[in-house]
Structure 1
C-alpha cells in the first residue's frame, strides 16, 4: 500500500495541470473560459492553499452550453441503444484506467479520505456500466389490451437536461446522475459544486476521450446564484436533476417554475439509526459508527440520529463513544485516515457552531466536540457524539452534515417511531432488531424513502433511491431513473369497430 508521502507526490503531479491551466468549461467539445473571463479560486481543505482558478460562468455561458446540448440532442437520441451501450462501457473503461488519478485529486479537493475515495471512481464506472446495459431497452414500453383496443406504450428522451451536483462525493454522484441521462438519450449540461469542481473536469474529458460526440455532455462551472440559476431558468433545458441542500432545492423549483421544468431532487437528511435491546449490539454499534463517521459525515444518507432503547442506552452510547475516540483523523491521502478535513472553512464553521449550540442546549459531549489539529492546518474536526439529548433540540432536528452523532433514548416501539418521524426530513432510516414482526411494523410506518434492517447502507443499483418530505422528489436507480429522463407515450389502436357517437349528422 502506498504511503502518505508517495500518494502526495502522485497527487501533486495530477494537480499541477489545474494550478497552471485552471478549471475550464467544456462546451460543444471545446475547453473554454467563461465568456466574461472571470474566475474564482478553489482551495484544498487540507492546508487552505489554492488549488486552481475556476471559470466563473454566467447566463451567456449557460446559453452556449444549452445550445450545444440542444444541437446534439437529435443525433444522440436517435443513436441505436446498442451503440450508446458500447460507448458508455468505453467511458467506464476509461474511468477505471484513471481511477487512481481521480481518487487522489478528489481527496485533495474535498478532504475525503483515500480509503473511501479509492473506491469512488470504481463505483462511478459501475454506474456507467449499469445504465449502459439498460440503454438498448430504455425506450421499451408495454402492450395493454382492452376490449376492441390495443395500447402500445413507448418512452423517448425528454431532451437536454441540467445536472447540478454537490461537493461531498462529486465524482461518484456526477456519474450517478449523468450516466442514466446519457443512456436514456438525453444530452447534458452539468454544473458541479463550486467547492469541488476538479473531478467534474476530469470526468467530461474522460467521456469525450472515449468517443462521446461533441455537445452531448457540456460542463459549466460557476456559482449557484449565477450559473446554477441561469441553468434552471433556461428554456432549452427540459429537466433539472439536483443533489444538495433542501433549501437550494426550493430555490431551483421556484426558478424552474416559469418553464415548467421537471425536477428530481435528492436533498438533505436527519436519518435515524434505531437500536432495540434485542439487536446484535456489536454489529449495530459498528454500523452506526460507520454511517456517521465515514465520508467525514458529509453525506445525505448518514445516520446522524442514534435512537437507542432506554434499557441499553448508557452501555451502547459508551461503546459508540469509545469507537469514535479511536477513529484516526488525519491527512486524506494517509492510508490509515478515516476522517479527513471538512470541505471548506465555511462548512467547518457551520459544523463547529453546532458543537457550541449543543453545549448551550445542555447535551453531554461524550466524544469529540471541537476542532483538532491536523497536517496542513486545515478543516479538521473530531468525530463527535452528543448524549443526553432530546428530539426537540436543534442538534437533533437540523442537518449538521459532519462527523456529529446525536444519541436519544426511547422507551418502546411507539416512542421510537414517533422520534424517528418527528423531523422535517425523510431520506433513510436504519433499524436494528432481531424481531421480524417489529421490523415489518416499523418499516411500514417509518417516514423515509429507503430503509435498511440490520444493515448499514448497502446499495443495490436496480432499487429506487430517494426520499420523502424535505429529503427530495423522485427516485434514482434502475428503471426509476428513466422515468425522470424520459417521456412516456401511449398509442391506442382500435382492433374492432366500436360505436362512435354521431353529432350533427
Structure 2
C-alpha cells in the first residue's frame, strides 16, 4: 500500500501521483512505496500549519501541550516492537539498536512534556533595572511555523528531537523525513492523531530532498528551519534562509577524534572504540571515526581491535545475533566503497575489512574496516565517510594529540580515554567540539545539549536548549504609574 502524505490530520497522495520505492537494504528488495510530494503539496502543508498556528493552537496552554506529548510518548511505547521492526527493514540497523532508539524517542517526548508543563510559569521572567521608574520582563513565545528536515540514520529519533520541543514551545510544523527512511515518521503522524494532537500542528511530507525538501526550506511562510544532515545541504539551506533572515538551526557532519593515552585499559578502550564507529554501521554524525592512539600501546591496541572487529556478527538486523547491519542504501554503500579505494590509493594500510562479506550475495553490507598509517591529507582522514570505517594515527605527547584532534573543519564531538583525570579535564577544555566524552563514546541523553563547533552546525538540540530553538524572546518594558516623564518640559524658569 502506498504511504501517503499527512496534512491537517488527513492522508492524501501527492498531487501528481508520483511515488518512491522503499527498499529493504538487507535484501535489496522493494517493500513499500512513498508518495513523492510536489511543491504544491508542500504549499498545502505549510498553509495548514500556518492556519493551525494562527488558530486555536495558540490558546493551548503548556499543561495541555504536556498532556499531548505524554500521550504521544505512550503511543510510541505501546507500538515499540512494531516501530523498531519498521526501522530495521527501512534503515537496516540491528533490532536491538532500533529498540533502543524507539525507547529514546518516547523518552524525548516525555522530557519535553515536563518542560511544557513548566512553560507557562516560566514564560515571563522579570528583569532587574537600574531605573526604578521602569519595570521589565522577558516573554518567551513560539517562533511560529517550523520546517523540520531530518536524515535517514535515526528516523524516528531525529523526528522526536525536533517535533517534541516544537510542540512543547507551541509551534506548528512540517516534517520532511528522508526519502530513504520515512516509514516511522508516518507512524508518528498516526500516533499524534490518536493522542489528540489538533489538525495542522504536525504535517508530514514525504518526497525527494531536491524537490520537497528544497521547496520547504525556501518557503516564504516558514518561520524557522531545523535541519540535520550533510554540510553541503546545510550550506544551501543557510544561503536560502539568508534571503529572508530566517531562524535556522543546523546539525551537520563530523569527523570526530577518539584520543587514547597509553595509561588506558586496552580492552575497555577497544570496546568503546568499536561502539564509537561500528554502532549503527558507522552512520552516525558524531561517530568517533579518527582514532588517535599513543605510541606506547598503539600496536597492542590495534591488534586487539582488529581481532574484535573481525568477530562482529554481520547480517539482517532482524536476526537477534546481528551487531552490524547493512548500510542504508546502494548509494551510501557505493560512497563508502569509494572512500575505501581512495584510502588504499593514498597509501593508507588497510588492516581489516573494506569488502562485502564473502558469504553475502545481497544487501548493502560492508565489513568493519580499519586503516592505519593514514596520511593526514587523505580524504579518509579529513572527510566524513558515514560508514563502518576507522582511520588510525599515532601520537607521542598530549600536545600532538590535541593538534591532530582539532585539525579538522568539523567540531561535533570528541572522546578521550585516560586514567589521568587531570589530563582528561585539560583535554576536554582544549578540544574544539560541542560534545566531549571522557572514557566512553556516543552516550546521548535528552537532558544534555547536542550540537557542534565550526562546520558541524549552528545551535543546539535537546535539553532546554532544544526548546529554545523554537522560541522567540520578547522584551516587555513598562513605565510605572505615579511617575512623570518630562523630558521636553520647559524648565527654563525653574529655580
Q: For this structure pair, what is the TM-score category when the shorter chain's length is used for normalisation?
A: over 0.9
Residue deviations 1:314-335, cap 9 Å, x none? 1111111111111011111000
Distance in 2 (alpha carbons) for counterparts of 1:373 and 1:77:
58
Residue deviations 1:110-143, cap 9 Å, x none? 1111120012111111000000111033352421
| Matching residue of 2:92 | 111
Q: How does 1:190-209 map to 2 (within 5 A)?
A: 190-209=175-194
TM-score (structure 2 length as normaliser) = 0.95
Distance in 2 (alpha carbons) for counterparts of 1:78 and 1:351:
49
Moved more, 419-428 or 148-157: 148-157
Distance in 2 (alpha carbons) for counterparts of 1:130 and 1:352:
40
Q: How does 1:341-380 map to 2 (within 5 A)?
A: 341-373=326-358, 377-380=362-365
Residue deviations 1:167-186, cap 9 Å, x none? 11111111111100011100
Moved more, 45-54 or 374-383: 374-383
| Matching residue of 2:76 | 95
| Matching residue of 2:455 | 470
Distance in 2 (alpha carbons) for counterparts of 1:461 and 1:498:
50
Determine which of 435, 438, 441 is the counterpart of 1:456: 441
| Matching residue of 2:465 | 480
Q: Alpha carbons of 1:421 and 1:275: their partners in 2 closer, same or farther (altered >3 Å)?
A: same
| Matching residue of 1:502 | 488
1:35–1:60: 8 Å Cα contact kept in structure 2? yes
Shift of 1:500: 5.1
Q: How does 1:286-301 map to 2 (within 5 A)?
A: 286-301=271-286
Shift of 1:66: 0.5
Residue deviations 1:339-375, cap 9 Å, x none? 1110111110000111111111111112112122465
| Matching residue of 2:270 | 285
Kindly indicate whether residue 35 of structure 2 is the aligned counterpart of residue 27 of structure 1: no
1:424–1:469: 8 Å Cα contact kept in structure 2? yes
Distance in 2 (alpha carbons) for counterparts of 1:361 and 1:500:
76
Q: What residue ranges of structure 1 are gaps of 5+ in the alignment?
A: 1-20
Determine which of 367, 371, 377 is the counterpart of 1:382: 367
| Matching residue of 1:49 | 29
Distance in 1 (alpha carbons) for counterparts of 2:21 and 2:291:
38
Kindly indicate whether residue 456 of structure 2 is the aligned counterpart of residue 493 of structure 1: no
SS of aligned partner of 2:117: helix
Distance in 2 (alpha carbons) for counterparts of 1:376 and 1:365:
23
Q: How does 1:9-408 map to 2 (within 5 A)?
A: 21-74=1-54, 75-138=56-119, 140-147=123-130, 148=132, 149-373=134-358, 377-408=362-393
Q: Alpha carbons of 1:84 and 1:371: their partners in 2 closer, same or farther (altered >3 Å)?
A: same
Residue deviations 1:200-253, cap 9 Å, x none? 111111111111111110011111111011101112210111111111100111
How many residue pairs match? The answer is 485
Distance in 2 (alpha carbons) for counterparts of 1:291 and 1:498:
65
Distance in 1 (alpha carbons) for counterparts of 2:479 and 2:260:
57
Q: Alpha carbons of 1:367 and 1:289: their partners in 2 closer, same or farther (altered >3 Å)?
A: same
Shift of 1:272: 0.5
Distance in 2 (alpha carbons) for counterparts of 1:357 and 1:498:
75
Residue deviations 1:258-313, cap 9 Å, x none? 22211111111100010001123321211011110111110111110000011211
Distance in 2 (alpha carbons) for counterparts of 1:500 and 1:397:
64
SS of aligned partner of 2:71: helix
Distance in 1 (alpha carbons) for counterparts of 2:149 and 2:489:
52
Moved more, 40-49 or 166-175: 40-49
